[in-house]
Structure 1
Amino acid sequence: MENISELLNQHHLDLKTMIVFKKADRTLIPFENKTFKEHHLTPTQFSVLETLYSKGNLRIQDLIDKMLATSGNMTVVIKNMVRDGLIFRTCDPKDRRSFLVGLTPEGRKKIEKILPDHIRNVEKALKVLDEKDKEDLIRILKKFKDLS
């Protein structure tokens, strides 16, 4: 049986890093969610609108991959957003087994209204970092992408 005290001592910095990382995440989430709530969207709905706005029409699987979402949840989100007139869904002319989704004029108008507020909230949350800090943080966090 491993000695817990020894493990805690040996990995103190790892554990502290994880705790600080999680606390920072918990602090940042309300800044991000503020805009979604004000505009009556879930974070996933906002992400769909923002991704389609920046990337254009996408196959549903490509949208899921770009958003790092699960397909089960996305099926419901897409269905509801089509129902609400924010996005459209149509057969992919290149592959009849796939569907494309894109912004409707209403969806484009909504994301263009929301994005400035979102950008200001992100800027407010990250103002504690200077440009070099932000670049360093991006570089460091990218190291996690191949972890799984």
Structure 2
Amino acid sequence: MNKKKISYGLDSDLNLKTLIALSRCYNSVHKRETKTIKETGVTVSQFAVLELLYHKGDMRVCEITEKVLSTSGNMTVVIENLVKDGFVERNIDPTDRRVNLISLTEKGKKLIADNFVKHTDNIDNIFNVLSDAEKDNLIKLLKKLSGV
């Protein structure tokens, strides 16, 4: 059966194809990128929090929420589960006793330390199909598209 191709104009047709290609690429990269995270036994959001604290140190919940691009309601649940599982702890902020700082526990540090190199190796495998120049160009294009 031959389907009739509907056109919305050259610009719109190309824009739609671009959106589809970008969406498929994102889904493919994300699926492959999260494979090693899921093997750690934590969720992608939990891994993002652990990785952030590992590399940046103790943070307030609002800072974590902003850095991992999450909602405050979701982040509260993520952090609650990390506390419950012994990966992070809450400590009073010495500069503002009304605020809690979230800190990695030894268990949390060990999980990230034991798995982050495997995670970066996986990311390297995903992006090594591109040359350095292509990666630089892709970053510029994505920032331009994002309005950044």
TM-score (norm 2): 0.89
1:80 lines up with 2:44 in the alignment: no
Aligned residues: 143
Q: Supply the distance in 2 between the matched residues of 1:51 and 1:58 (Cα, whole angstroms).
A: 9
Q: Deviations over 1:110-130 (max 9, x none)?
A: 001110110111111112101
RMSD: 1.6
Say if 1:144 and 1:76 are closer, same or farther in 2 by CA, change over 3 A: same
What corresponds to 2:14 in structure 1?
13
* Over 6 Å off, 4+ runs: none
Once the two structures are aligned, what percentage of the paired residues are identical?
Answer: 41
What corresponds to 2:3 in structure 1?
none
Partner AA of 2:121 in structure 1: R
Within 5 Å, give how 1:1-148 maps onto structure 2: 7-146=8-147
Partner AA of 2:90 in structure 1: R
Shift of 1:99: 1.3
Gaps of 5+ in 1: none
Q: Deviations over 1:40-82 (max 9, x none)?
A: 1110011001111111111110111111111101111101101
Q: Supply the distance in 2 between the matched residues of 1:46 and 1:69 (Cα, whole angstroms).
A: 13
Q: Supply the distance in 1 between the matched residues of 2:95 and 2:26 (Cα, whole angstroms).
A: 40
What is the DSSP-based 3-state SS (H/G/I as helix, E as strand, rest coil) of the residue aligned with 1:99?
strand
Q: Supply the distance in 2 between the matched residues of 1:24 and 1:116 (Cα, whole angstroms).
A: 24
Q: Supply the distance in 2 between the matched residues of 1:144 and 1:10 (Cα, whole angstroms).
A: 16
